[in-house]
Amino acid sequence: MSKTMSKTMSGPILKVDKVGKTFVQGVHQVEALADISFSVMAGECFAVVGESGSGKSTLANLILGIYPPTTGTISYAGEPLPAKRQLVHRRAIQLVQQNPLSALNPKRTIGASLRLALDVHGIGAPSERRDIVGGLLEEVGLPAEFASRAPAALSGGQRQRVSIARALACQSALLVLDEPTSALDVLVQARVLKLLEKLRRKHNLTYIFITHDLCVVRNIADRVAVFEKGRLIELAATETLFTRPQTPYTRALISAVPVVSEEEERLRQRLGEPQNAIG
Amino acid sequence: MTALVLEIINLNLSFARHGEQTAVLHDVCLSIARGERVALVGESGSGKSVTARIVLGLLGELASARITGEIRFEGQDLGALSPAGRHALRGTKMSMIFQDPTSSLNPAYTIGAQFHEVLRRGAPKISAKAAKERAGAMLAGISMDQPDRVLGSYPFQLSGGMNQRVMIAMALANTPSLLIADEPGTALDVTVQAQTLKLMRELVEDNGTAVLFITHNIGVVREFADRVYVLYRGRIVEKGATHAVLTDARHPYTRALLAAVPRLTGGGIADIGEETDVFAAPMFDHGPGAEARP
């Protein structure tokens, strides 16, 4: 167990403390994130929402250690994560991306892509890894025979299931889901979201769910962090955020969502009325 | 002359691949009256975008495409027109807005130059100066700040939302009788999308332009369309007034589609089973109000 970071602890699994990120391009400086602090509890689904340019993806990259923050610290299970992540840190936090076709190597079979994660992190005995791969596929609702297929032979939903299986392969407790269903058709989206919920309960996973889709957030998240132009402007339990949003920006976001039912329309109207927040 | 702007009658499309025919559209029938906003909703691969391309005449050149059926535009059989005749319709009497505004504008020309090109299709002799004035007035009309700066800009210097508004203004510049909008808000943020839809609705109402609105987003259908056709695997499975279809969906596919949309008011993620044969049920027509009223 020395290779995995401790998962059994009380308190937050992830702590983001006064984190800022400034990108420098020649003489230009872009402050992508400023003074962000929040904690994610073990087993919760923590949604990060915002429009393009709000800093959602920068936050994901900081958490994953793609690049270090300019200021502040990010801690996992009580330990600050170093600027240069070691293998053990990389294993601890896994990513599921928006577009599974670009996330999977087209030249590798599904089985080889899953196996690579096991090989890199030395999970299971080499002779067992074939079976582990089969088990992972079954876990996400795909037949074990899919191991021999290429990503191109799978539908969008099936590919996204493979991406999820690959994240599960590392047995990490924390998954960063970056728009995991926004490239999928609505029926497929519902099935993949249902799968994510099932896996979270079964393995007590923690999700950081990054999305622009508030309807998805409403139905899957425990808490929601709203980002606007690199700042965390509102953080609340999902129910509270959608019934009593505190900032004009959040109200504007919710009331701009195209909805399908009268009941939703009434909620939208109610939130849209008091102030016209769209500038 | 009939008041139907567009009439698609028994449209079939198949592609030849490896010596076999793959059927993509099956007897699609659809009609749009003057000034009416009609949505064609379906998931990826259902055939909604190819339908738009056939109407525009952009698919006929493909050697592998086999198209049968009839398309009438303002009472005229488009199949009887020469390629030059169809070309003359595009950008004048029928125009199109695509999903990604930034890639549908030419990055090498300023917005002003591209606007001029569009206006020239309606009035071949229009001068650059007159075109600029007209374009400036149109952009000001859609409450864009600093129209002159926008006209002097290249598409990459503007935001996605601004480009999309420019696209809408351009598409309506020659007061077409039919606008085909293919997922016009999908690439945009939700607040920008809401503004874009509002703008489009205002402009088409002012001009009496009919719209064929192609989307996968049922919420957007509810916001924008008078009537809706639901397309599943190349077949229309349900049609009717938007309100009727959304509040009283009858076809199993439409019902599944509506159930699968996560609600802003909560209630959890629906349990959607695998695709079944029930989706092959015959079309449901909501009847009066479902047909375009001439």
The pLDDT tens digits of the residues spanning A226-277 come to 999 999 999 999 999 999 999 999 999 999 999 999 999 999 988 877 544 4
| Same domain? A92 vs A202 | yes
Question: Is the separation of the CB atoms in A93 and A76 below 8 Å?
Answer: yes
**What confidence score (pLDDT) does residue B63 get?**
77
| Same domain? A41 vs A156 | yes
Calculate how close chain B gets to A274, using CA atoms only, in Å. 17
Asked whether the beta carbons of residue A260 and residue B263 sit closer than 8 angstroms, the reply is: yes
Tokens 């229309």 locate to: B236
The separation between the first and the last C-alpha atoms of chain A, rounded to the nearest angstrom, is 54
**What confidence score (pLDDT) does residue B213 get?**
95
**Interchain contact A268–B (C-beta under 8 A):** yes
Calculate how close chain A gets to B39, using CA atoms only, in Å. 14
> B286: Cβ–Cβ under 8 A, 6 or more apart, which residues?
B238, B239, B240, B241, B244, B245, B248, B250
Does position A73 have pLDDT exceeding 50, yes or no? yes
**What confidence score (pLDDT) does residue A2 get?**
42
Q: Is there a domain that residue A138 lies in? A: yes
**Interchain contact A277–B (C-beta under 8 A):** no
**Interchain contact A197–B (C-beta under 8 A):** yes
Q: CA B168 to CA B162: how far, in whole Å?
A: 10
Nearest-by-CA chain B residue for A262: B247
Q: Is there a domain that residue A133 lies in? A: yes
| Same domain? A210 vs A278 | no
DSSP A153: G
| Same domain? A85 vs A105 | yes
In this prediction, residues A68-96 reach a mean pLDDT of 94
Residues in chain B with pLDDT values less than 70 = 1-2, 60-61, 288-294
| Same domain? A254 vs A278 | yes
Nearest-by-CA chain A residue for B253: A187
Q: CA B6 to CA B217: how far, in whole Å?
A: 23
Nearest-by-CA chain A residue for B218: A260
- ipTM for the complex shown: 0.85
In this prediction, residues A166-173 reach a mean pLDDT of 94
Q: Is there a domain that residue A277 lies in? A: yes
Residue A108: pLDDT band (50, 70, 90) is very high
SS3 B183: coil
Q: pTM of the entire structure?
A: 0.89
Question: Is the separation of the CB atoms in A199 and A205 below 8 Å?
Answer: yes
Asked whether the beta carbons of residue A260 and residue B246 sit closer than 8 angstroms, the reply is: yes
Residues of A in contact with B272 (CB under 8 A): 187, 190-191, 194
The pLDDT tens digits of the residues spanning B243-283 come to 999 999 999 999 999 999 999 999 999 998 877 788 888 99
Q: Is there a domain that residue A3 lies in? A: no
Backbone conformation region of residue B13, classed left if phi is above 0, alpha if psi is from -120 to 50, else beta: beta
The separation between the first and the last C-alpha atoms of chain B, rounded to the nearest angstrom, is 10
β-strands B20-33, B4-17 pairing: antiparallel
CATH of the domain at A165: 3.40.50.300
Using CB atoms, pick whichever of B191, B257, B271 lies closest to residue A252: B191
The structure tokens listed for A215 are 């309807």
Residues of B in contact with A263 (CB under 8 A): 263, 265
SS3 A154: coil
Residue A5: pLDDT band (50, 70, 90) is low
| Same domain? A220 vs A270 | no
Nearest-by-CA chain A residue for B160: A52
**What confidence score (pLDDT) does residue B101 get?**
82
Total count of domains within chain A: 2
Q: CA B186 to CA B204: how far, in whole Å?
A: 19
Residues of B with CB under 8 A from a CB of A: 43-44, 160, 189-195, 197, 216-220, 222-223, 246-247, 256-272, 275
Q: Is there a domain that residue A53 lies in? A: yes
Task: Please give the single-letter amino acid code of residue A161.
Answer: R
Nearest-by-CA chain B residue for A214: B264
Q: Please report which residue ranges of B105-240 form alpha helices under DSSP H.
A: 111-122, 128-141, 147-151, 160-171, 190-207, 218-224
Residues of A in contact with B197 (CB under 8 A): 258
The structure tokens listed for A245 are 């949003």
| Same domain? A276 vs A166 | no
| Same domain? A123 vs A38 | yes
Q: Which of A109-123, A211-225, B2-16 has the lowest mean pLDDT?
A: B2-16
Nearest to A206 by CA among A65, A79, A94: A94
Using CB atoms, pick whichever of B257, B266, B267 lies closest to residue A187: B257
Nearest to B179 by CA among B236, B225, B237, B247: B225
Residue B116 neighbours by CB distance under 10 Å? 21
Q: Is there a domain that residue A4 lies in? A: no
The secondary structure of A110-133 as a DSSP string is: HHHHHHHHHHHHT-S-GGGHHHHH
Q: Is there a domain that residue A174 lies in? A: yes
Q: Is there a domain that residue A7 lies in? A: no
Q: CA A130 to CA A124: how far, in whole Å?
A: 10
| Same domain? A232 vs A265 | no
Nearest to A195 by CA among A212, A183, A207: A207
Structural domain of A261: 245-279
In this prediction, residues A108-136 reach a mean pLDDT of 95
Calculate how close chain B gets to A84, using CA atoms only, in Å. 34
| Same domain? A228 vs A250 | no
| Same domain? A148 vs A272 | no
Asked whether the beta carbons of residue A260 and residue B266 sit closer than 8 angstroms, the reply is: no
Using alpha carbons, list the distances in angstroms from residue A77 to A7, A10, A42, B106, B171.
Answer: 7, 8, 9, 50, 55
| Same domain? A170 vs A149 | yes
Q: CA B194 to CA B216: how far, in whole Å?
A: 16
Which of the residues A217, A219, A240 would you substitute to probe the B interface, choosing the one with the greatest number of B C-beta atoms within 10 Å?
Answer: A219
**What confidence score (pLDDT) does residue A100 get?**
80
Which of the residues A197, A255, A260 would you substitute to probe the B interface, choosing the one with the greatest number of B C-beta atoms within 10 Å?
Answer: A260
